[in-house]
A and B are shown apart, each in its own frame.
Chain A
């Protein structure tokens, strides 16, 4: 199974600022995803991080707010831009090695916006 490392593991940020979260995988993977988990709730898919092209965003999420990079098959970043307290959540990176296969998750980044 893939080992996923996320940085930072947690942060407290001022509103109006931006935070970039890094996701590093110990092996090359086909698919990488970013999810949001609001306090006490389930996970919601933000976007699919595509290697070498623009990310594919789910309904309700836009590139200006959540720009994503994926320069290679082992690394991706998610930026939470112009943050507000409503952005306080856990952000999770996930990888799949193929379609309809088990998805592995990082430990998440717990973001608090004050």
Chain B
């Protein structure tokens, strides 16, 4: 079973920042937080991951709370093409790289 909880859906206005929350209260010290997204009719796409520090890449920023029990994915300037299901996953990695996907958050970017 997925170990994270996310809202089922969210709306965001085009051009505004989209802030997607995730609770991972059972996360252990060596588990990463990963974010993926899935645009309709496509395979999931990796966005970003973090362990303790905040992270930023060309797609998004990841803010992890100090106690690591929750995080927020930030899309700084959402576009219509960012409409997708966003998955937050906690995992320790290891040799087999297994991910357990929950049902994610459907982000609808509105024009």
Pair from one complex: no
* A residues apposed to B, CB below 8 Å: none
* B residues apposed to A, CB below 8 Å: none
